[in-house]
Structure 1
């Protein structure tokens, strides 16, 4: 089994409830969404260099596990599968195999973080598998991708009932925020909720005020601390 991997590196988790945790990132290549791209506004994806399915290098599971081992010899880092999109096409089977391998080894040997976190864009169906934790985007109107969202994922998250799963709303404007509140109410969401502003389009302090007024359950502001520390660099 093999797939296209853009990069594998170690850093800290930059956002969400695992923010600050030492992490090995496995970045898959390929994503069919183009968030934020409209006639008048530009793409806002953090990793446009990984959107093409032919970006990166072809790697086997063995290649990937060897690189993770090199970066994390003591098997103590969180493993984060990201992209691109780790659940799209051939990436899905590769993600499952990586996560199963890590889960089996770390559970057997009593190592921390046995469950791999997956950052997924909301258009691909998530799973009930216990070897995954999900950070799932819900694309709001400002992304131009809301019609690509798989609404069944909300029911799967409810069945998973995992206290570490999270739903992320990236907010471009007030319309986006109001739509997020509608989605939370319509879907009766009880999962952890992250709010992130589109850089340069929404002031984070203004987003905080909106959050304070509506105060959805289990919600928090999520800023990308890796950008605060290193700027918009790759591999950090």
Structure 2
């Protein structure tokens, strides 16, 4: 329990996206990310943070008395000790999700953890960072998120879904980039094409107009 991680913040809010949207959740935001997506809304987590022991993190999470915990970033898997944190949270009975870019290997993630994994679309600027071997480690409880900025992203996402039979493997999320992709247009395309995906708008931005939701 002497392991340390660099933490940007730990806070309590409503889950803003994924399939637990709206549920009270404790967010543990780790510092650092090897990607630089053009739409990133958490660039403040790229650097800085505070080295925090695993026992301190667990105590801070417990103080909120909340069943759901999301480990996010940055890119949480950029810190190897993230795997220890995830395992200890699951051991303590939390419903734990991991928000990851999909650029780093997820094979070591405890199977009790719900993986919410991006596949970076062309407009992200990080298309070449997708680690497609991660798809083999996804299960029906996991989710793949496509962040859509334009029709090119939409068509690419449809093609990737088909190529990797993603709808048969895990849950799928389509999310419009705020201020860039009209959400109504994206919703209508999903309905038109009968896509088996969950359309989502980031709830925290609607409620608080910020990246964190607190």
The TM-score normalised by the length of structure 1 is: 0.84
Measure the CA separation in 2 of the matches of 1:105 and 1:170: 32
Tell me the residue number matched to 1:39. Answer: none
Residue 64 of structure 2: aligned partner: 71
Number of residues of Structure 1 aligned to a counterpart in Structure 2:
209
Confirm or deny that 1:121 pairs with 2:101.
yes
Residue by residue over 1:161-187, the C-alpha shift from the partner in whole angstroms, topping out at 9 and shown as x without a partner, is 33x311000011000000001100110
- Structure 1's unaligned 5+ residue stretches are 37-43, 107-113
Tell me what 1:59 maps to.
52
Quick check: 2:16–2:213 contact (8 Å CA) kept in 1? no
Q: Does 1:177 align with 2:154?
A: yes
- The residue aligned with 1:92 is 80
Q: Distance in 1 between matches of 2:213 and 2:193?
A: 36
Instruction: Give the 3 Å change call, closer, same or farther, for CA 167–199 of structure 1 in structure 2.
Output: same
For residue 210 of structure 1, what is the aligned residue in structure 2?
189
Gaps of 5+ in 2: none
Give the alignment's Cα RMSD to 1 decimal: 1.4
8 Å CA contact 2:12–2:26 kept in 1: the answer is yes
CA distance in 2, matches of 1:98, 1:202: 35
Taking structure 2 as the reference length, the TM-score comes to 0.93
After TM superposition, the runs of 4+ consecutive aligned structure 1 residues lying more than 6 A away are: none
- Does the aligned pair in 2 maintain the 1:34–1:45 contact within 8 Å? yes
Q: Is 1:154 aligned to 2:132, yes or no?
A: no
- The aligned residue for residue 175 of structure 2 is 196
Structure 2 CA distance for aligned equivalents of residues 235 and 181 of structure 1: 29
**How far apart, CA to CA, are the structure 2 residues paired with 1:140 and 1:99?**
27
Aligned residue for 1:87, secondary structure, equals: helix
What is the alpha-carbon distance in structure 1 between the residues aligned to residue 212 and residue 118 of structure 2?
A: 21
Counterpart residue number, 1:101: 88
State how far apart, in whole Å, the 1-side matches of 2:213 and 2:123 are: 27
1:87 deviates by 0.7
